[in-house]
Homo-oligomer: A and B are copies of this chain.
Amino acid sequence: MIERRKPIPIGEAVQKIMEYQLQGLTEYVSINESFGRFLSEDLMATSDVPHFDRAPYDGFAVRSIDTREASQSNSVEFEVIDHLGAGMVSPKVVGQNQAVRIMTGAMMPEGTDAVVMFEVAKDYEKNESPYMSIKRSFNKGDNVSFAGEDAKEGEVLVKKGTLINPGIQAMLATFGYKDVPVAKKPVVGLFATGTELLEVDESLVPGKIRNSNSHMIAAQIERVGGIVQYFGKLPDEFDTCFDAVKDALTKVDLLITTGGVSVGDFDYLPAIYKKLGAEVFFNKVAMRPGSVTTVAGYKGKILFGLSGNPSACYVGFELFARPIIRRQLFSKKPHLRKEKAVLEVDFPKANPFTRFVRSSTFIEDGRLKATPSGLDKSNIIMSLAGANSLMILPGGTRGFSAGDDVDVLLLEDQVGSEWPW
């Protein structure tokens, strides 16, 4: 007898997972290892930036009051009493008609309030001492970067949940974050099921294929920001299988299995969920591919029973596992980023269910366009390689034509969506 399952809408399926309480955790890593991690706390300015008034250009620091009379017809002379590189601090107080030669980034000497750029000064020596003269006046603050101009102490500059990019690395360094609070990477366990599966280093034999799903999902876990713990192939025998799953659950935050979740004669996963006493959120979703995806909660962990079919497996991970992993990374936009694109080709197939078509999305003349990436049979992994997106073709439609607007989910993007459903 074939078991009848009731498919639920995609948005509802995702919501059931997101409602399950999983908390993100903080760990501290050296700033040298924080690139690409997610901030688990707000990044705060621990000082003003700059934290002293400084010269933004090479030139001469002066008292603007002394420049008042300078003009094309009236050159004003200054004695150059010191010479500062960035990082140096002058011990001198600058008096009337005195100046300090100053390099970009150096602290303004006491008494000065403007910088005369080299280009508008004439420098020379008199009695073996350096002098310079100018033929224009300056206002207080001209060519000075003031303390706090870029950031004020105490200001929140980057929100928690943000992916650390090179610019944020610079900010972390500026504010002395030697150790950076980042989201602990969730550990995602991975089992493959299937008598037909060979390991990557085994030779092909009739009827068997190499296990590609585990390597694919492992990469998807890494891409989203998790750590993979691969437990190998589940044994064929039910009790051993059950023990392996139960034991693995003690070692991971989430557990993914590929295959064995359907209603085929050798699909053990449903029975395992049952014996565990796991709360099955759903075991069928109104979508193609991936309709037989099963997700269950068990003692604060989530079990993802993804289809053994490569496309369904891929899509199931991105729709259902990605967002909960990203939420553990404190992301405010944990779901795949959804954008509108123009369909480049006809897609005449009718869709009783919402269909996710592996696609290549690209930009042409400032416009997002999308085209299916290769033959779209659900057992074809080839088209996954070229796919950077999933085109969403809503259910209940009779096909689409080139030029139609379609929604696409971007796979390689790090921005995300709040709630695309």
Give which listed residue, B89, B216, B366, contacts A207 with CB less than 8 A: B89
Contact A170 B381 (CB under 8 A): yes
Encode contact with B along A395-421: 1 for CB under 8 Å, 0 otherwise: 000000000010000001010000000
Is A300 interfacial (CB-CB < 8 Å)? no
Which residues of A from 305 to 357 have beta carbons under 8 Å from B? 308-310, 314, 339-342
A63 to B387, CA, bound (A): 37
Contact B85 A157 (CB under 8 A): no
When distances are taken between beta carbons in the complex, the residues of chain B under 8 Å from A215 are: 31-32, 169-170, 172-173
A105 to B208, CA, bound (A): 9
Given contacts A178-B201, A368-B367, whether A171 and B264 have CB atoms under 8 Å apart is: no
When distances are taken between beta carbons in the complex, the residues of chain B under 8 Å from A386 are: 167
When distances are taken between beta carbons in the complex, the residues of chain B under 8 Å from A194 are: 86-87, 105
Contact B169 A218 (CB under 8 A): yes
Give which listed residue, B150, B197, B366, B379, contacts A381 with CB less than 8 A: B150
Question: Which residue in chain B gives the minimum CB-CB distance to A36?
Answer: B222
Which residues of A from 152 to 200 have beta carbons under 8 Å from B? 157-158, 164-178, 194-197, 200
Given contacts A145-B379, A385-B157, whether A174 and B212 have CB atoms under 8 Å apart is: yes
A218 to B314, CA, bound (A): 33
Is A220 interfacial (CB-CB < 8 Å)? yes
Contact A222 B145 (CB under 8 A): no
**Interface window among A45-53, A73-81, A131-139, A242-250:** A45-53
Contact A382 B265 (CB under 8 A): no
When distances are taken between beta carbons in the complex, the residues of chain B under 8 Å from A167 are: 216, 314, 381, 383-387
Question: Which residue in chain B gives the minimum CB-CB distance to A407?
Answer: B366
A223 to B93, CA, bound (A): 46
Chain B nearest CB: distance from A214 CB in Å? 8
Chain B nearest CB: distance from A93 CB in Å? 14
Is A56 interfacial (CB-CB < 8 Å)? yes
Given contacts A47-B204, A209-B51, whether A103 and B266 have CB atoms under 8 Å apart is: yes
Is A58 interfacial (CB-CB < 8 Å)? yes
Contact A219 B368 (CB under 8 A): no
Give which listed residue, B89, B145, B195, contacts A87 with CB less than 8 A: B195
Contact A366 B385 (CB under 8 A): no
When distances are taken between beta carbons in the complex, the residues of chain B under 8 Å from A384 are: 166-167, 170-171
When distances are taken between beta carbons in the complex, the residues of chain B under 8 Å from A366 are: 339-342, 367-368, 405
Contact B166 A264 (CB under 8 A): no
Chain B nearest CB: distance from A99 CB in Å? 15
Is A100 interfacial (CB-CB < 8 Å)? no
A196 to B103, CA, bound (A): 11
Chain B nearest CB: distance from A417 CB in Å? 11
Q: Which of A210, A262, A341, A414 has the most CB of B within 10 A?
A: A210
A101 to B266, CA, bound (A): 12
Contact A166 B314 (CB under 8 A): yes
Give which listed residue, B86, B170, B200, contacts A173 with CB less than 8 A: B200
Give which listed residue, B107, B223, B264, B363, contacts A85 with CB less than 8 A: B264
A380 to B145, CA, bound (A): 10
Is A25 interfacial (CB-CB < 8 Å)? no
Give which listed residue, B165, B223, B262, contacts A35 with CB less than 8 A: B223
Q: List 30 A-B contacts (CB under 8 A).
A: A32-B218, A35-B222, A36-B219, A50-B379, A56-B377, A85-B196, A87-B207, A87-B208, A103-B266, A105-B194, A150-B377, A166-B219, A167-B383, A167-B385, A167-B387, A169-B215, A169-B218, A169-B219, A170-B212, A170-B213, A173-B212, A174-B210, A174-B212, A175-B210, A178-B200, A178-B201, A342-B366, A367-B367, A367-B368, A412-B414
